[in-house]
Amino acid sequence: MSLVKAYQTNEAEFTFRGRVFTFALSHGLFSSANIDIGTRFLLKVFSQKLDELARDGKPMPQTILDAGCGVGVIGICAASVLSPNVRVRCQDRDELARVFTSFNAENNHIPQSLLSAHAEPLLAGPDDAQWDLILSNIPAKAGKPVLEDFIDQSIALLAPEGRVLVVVVNPLANFFRIRICQSGTLLYDETSTSHTVLMYGQSADKPLVAHPPRHGDFWQSHPAYRRNNGVYLIEDVSYTLDTIHGVADFDTPSEVMQVAAKLIRRLKCPLFSNLLIHEPNQGHFPAWLARFEQWSATNVPRITLSGRNVLALEASRHNLSPFAVDMVPALDISPRIAVADGRSGFSVIIAFPELVPRTDTLAALWEGIAALLAPDGLALIALGSSGAERFDRCKPKQFRRVGNIKRKGFRALAYQN
């Protein structure tokens, strides 16, 4: 609950089929001011479809997937109205969404027996899962290959007579209609001034698209997320990177990672024995660091990656192949990130914290560093200059600053304990 309090920036009431719900919202997640128009439209149509099932004497859905759940509004409303004979799985690529969905479910008295929340890509989950209903407020910026895959795989994941009910922004509506008709059957289509709700299912005369196992190597199990492969340059050191949809820095390394690399070069850091990198995005910095430090199979640190976006963690882990990497979805640097092999702590922590507007998590960031950094360890933090200044001002007394570089509105700071 403390994590939600740290990241919550708003609260909204929403009424669905006569019940009033209260949802914690965050500027770190989609629709931070109120329940968004698309979600309201989708739930209106969902309610109508439930009434039609009841009128026709047809069974209600018992297994529901809320794909891209955000703070959990859709899944929580579905679990409430179909209780106690429903199992809802809410999933989102963002660990912050998982935390808020779990909190909002508990706060609205939805037990875990009805609803579970997971940090996963859109249609990940048990390989043998079949859904009576898949609900989604489709993220418009997911990228067309991911959206095409969503349509094909959602149809393939349906139970007999199962349905997919989605809401999309109007500029994507025709794209969805065409793809749905290529892969399945379009069953319902309603358009408002800004959004379109579509319902679709399987077609008897169209073969289902076979999907690869959704576990194991991410690159093999989620091919639609692949974006491109390129050679990049930081601090005169080149490295190769595979990039994916849904993660920032797909075409160039960010300025914040370049300023961190500049500070690493100035500090002349040795090879690390136990390394934590927080919020690595596509993996530009870890991939550069591996080349800069000339890691080899026999001379490599123990690497842990943590961060909110599980897609980013998967991309970074892939780009550090063949090195062994631990991956921990986490909102911040905290004792919840286990130190490998029972060691006293991480010898180096490198963090690119994503500051959420109207929140202040810098003190918690210091608490996590103090708890996880080994004696005489090095902590390197890179972020926007204003955030870096605030972070430096709340430095605990046991830390001393050993490095400081500014570049194009960003700042990298290094500390030892």
β-strand partners of 21:
14
Contacts of 104 (CB under 8 A, 6+ apart): 21, 22, 23, 24, 71, 72, 73, 76
Q: Please determine whether the domains at 2-213 and 223-416 fall in the same fold group of CATH.
A: yes
Architecture of domain 223-416: 3-Layer(aba) Sandwich (3.40)
pTM above 0.85, yes or no: yes
Name the residue ranges covered by the structural domains of the chain: 2-213, 223-416
With 0-12 / 13-18 / 19 or more C-beta atoms within 10 angstroms meaning exposed / middle / buried, residue 28 is buried
Contacts of 203 (CB under 8 A, 6+ apart): 183, 184, 185
Tell me the per-residue pLDDT of 24-36, one tens digit each, with 9 for 90 and over. Answer: 999 888 888 899 9
Amino acid 1: pLDDT: 47
Tell me the per-residue pLDDT of 282-293, one tens digit each, with 9 for 90 and over. Answer: 999 999 999 998
User: Residue 181 corresponds to which tokens in the numbers above?
Assistant: 């008709």
Show the low-confidence residues of the chain (pLDDT under 50). 1
Closest CA to 321 of 241, 412, 222: 241
Amino acid 407: pLDDT: 92
User: Residue 363 corresponds to which tokens in the numbers above?
Assistant: 């003190």
Dihedral (CA of 210, 215, 216, 219) sign: positive
What CATH code is assigned to 2-213?
A: 3.40.50.150
Q: Report residue 324 CA to chain centroid gap.
A: 22
Tell me the per-residue pLDDT of 247-276, one tens digit each, with 9 for 90 and over. Answer: 988 889 999 999 999 999 999 876 668 899
